[in-house]
Amino acid sequence: MRMIPPPVEPFRIKMVEPLGRTTRRERDKLLRDAGFNVFGLPAEKVMIDLLTDSGTSAMSDRQWAGIMMGDESYAGARSFYRFEKAVRDVFGFDIVIPTHQGRAAERVLFETILDKNSLVPSNIHFDTTRANIEFRKAKAVDLAGAAAYDPEADLPFKGNMDTGKLEAFLDKYGRRVPIVMLTVTNNSGGGQPVSMANIERVSAICRRRKIPFFFDACRFAENAWFVKCREKGYERWSVRDIAKKMFSFADGATMSAKKDALVNMGGFLTLNDPALAARLKNSLIIGEGFVTYGGLSGRDLEAIAQGLTEVLDEAYLEYRTAQVAYLGRLLDEACVPYVKPAGGHAIYVLADKVLPHLPRDKYPGWALTVALFREAGIRAVEIGGVMFGRKDPKTGREIFPALELVRLAIPRRVYTASHMIFVAEALGSIARKPERVKGIRIVEEPPFLRHFTARFEEID
């Protein structure tokens, strides 16, 4: 019998799909064919896919029923009004603009408000957000507190922005800052939440200077759940009211519905400023579609509306966060170090600690993703030197990010506790004999978001 009690899934399974089963020899060939980049693997060859929690949720019977009810009218579809009402009920902003996913919302927003002198602070920008900002030749600035970069600091709100740093930054560069963002939960910093108190302070700083403040709200429900569990005074609040309060401090949000709206595709922008919304809608129509569908089908809008209700079910959120924490406790047992505490949607393994024989320029994080697939058909994602490494323009040498992580992102309502045991055992077996894992060299890389398509080689 295992000592660690698994969380009980608060659902039963009505439809199943087989897992990809392969031999080690097949996986070796698959890796070679994919240029040692797990993004290049055919998904049906993956046994447990922890690449992302984005767009990978299992939808409920009610969401599937909603799909059948989708109104596919070009303009003014009934499904749009249902979606708009659901977003307004949870987020509280007047205007709701659908987009095909989160980065489309980011593109529409940044295309409209940034120029090449703009600076955009956040706690830590996610990679697509950063890329969308940099594509406008503007600069994305991370102002998370020091704890965000300390994987051992077991603190409740490591997603917080350092408000002292924010004030100093705005004193110096305020005129160049058209928007301040806050990512909840802070994905690139370990899926860690931001406290209500921090949100309130960031908001006050921005309001005083009349700078719009937006959330990157992909995982708002997980953030609200952590506020309920960890922040004094919110124990008796419903997560819906906590979410409402969080949003009441902001001027708007970008949202990838592929996370906390429990759907496979979708996103939106929501805000109060009608003048800004009019400009955003112009950009939307050029790139995404008419304002009542924005790159989505009517059936997608139905599924999002239903998903936004289900994600605020506290039995679901309790299980969701407990499942991630459960994997964390299994990894503790297997002596695999990770960012503490466990995140809301993922565990972030400290790859350089698991593979201490590999220096940063041999990309231990990337090497660990290759090893995990080879070992057990598990797919994870590197968040380290490949994803965030930058060439120093003067010396041409690579500058590495503070942390070298491999993220095990848990799709929502998809895998069971026994799948988590399988994952922990595979990682434990790699960690017991790290020297079997080879370093990595980049052979080919594109200029933006290189981790998606770069090709690699294993080196001794």
Q: Binding residues for ligand F0G, per CB under 6 A?
A: 52, 54, 101-103, 126, 128-129, 183, 187, 216, 218, 256, 258, 267, 409
For residue 130, the minimal CB distance to ligand F0G (Å) is 10
For residue 232, the minimal CB distance to ligand F0G (Å) is 26
Query: What whole-number distance in Å separates Cα of residue 63 and Cα of residue 15?
Result: 14
Q: What is the DSSP string of 444-460?
A: E--SSSGGGT-EEEEE-
Q: What is the dihedral of CA 338, 339, 340, 343, to 10 degrees?
A: -110
For ligand F0G, the closer of residues 77 and 105 by Cβ is 105
Looking only at the bridges linking them, the beta strands covering 455-459 and 398-399 are: unpaired
For residue 159, the minimal CB distance to ligand F0G (Å) is 11
For ligand F0G, the closer of residues 217 and 305 by Cβ is 217
For ligand F0G, the closer of residues 335 and 402 by Cβ is 402
Distances (CA, A) of 166 to 143, 178, 216, 403: 7, 14, 17, 22
Tokens representing 184? 């909840």
For ligand F0G, the closer of residues 102 and 307 by Cβ is 102
For residue 237, the minimal CB distance to ligand F0G (Å) is 24
For ligand F0G, the closer of residues 215 and 431 by Cβ is 215
Sequence letter at residue 368? L
Q: How many other β-carbons are positioned within 10 Å of the β-carbon of residue 146?
A: 10
Contact 50, 376 (CB under 8 A): no
In 43-126, alpha helices (H):
61-68, 78-91, 102-113
For ligand F0G, the closer of residues 112 and 128 by Cβ is 128
For ligand F0G, the closer of residues 49 and 302 by Cβ is 49
Lookup result for tokens 């080689």: 457
For residue 301, the minimal CB distance to ligand F0G (Å) is 15
For ligand F0G, the closer of residues 267 and 341 by Cβ is 267
* 176 DSSP assignment: G
Q: In the chain, helix, strand, coil percent, each to 5?
A: 45, 15, 40
For residue 426, the minimal CB distance to ligand F0G (Å) is 20
For residue 365, which of 30, 143, 37, 52 has the smallest C-alpha distance?
A: 37
φ, ψ (nearest 5 deg) of residue 161: -80, 145
For residue 414, the minimal CB distance to ligand F0G (Å) is 14
For residue 419, the minimal CB distance to ligand F0G (Å) is 18
Distances (CA, A) of 394 to 67, 206, 389, 398: 53, 35, 15, 11
For ligand F0G, the closer of residues 105 and 426 by Cβ is 105
For residue 379, the minimal CB distance to ligand F0G (Å) is 12
Q: Tell the burial category of 435 from Cβ atoms under 10 Å away from its Cβ (0-12, 13-18, 19+).
A: exposed
Nearest position to ligand F0G, beta carbon: 102
For residue 326, which of 48, 5, 51, 12 has the smallest C-alpha distance?
A: 5
For residue 435, the minimal CB distance to ligand F0G (Å) is 30
For ligand F0G, the closer of residues 47 and 140 by Cβ is 140
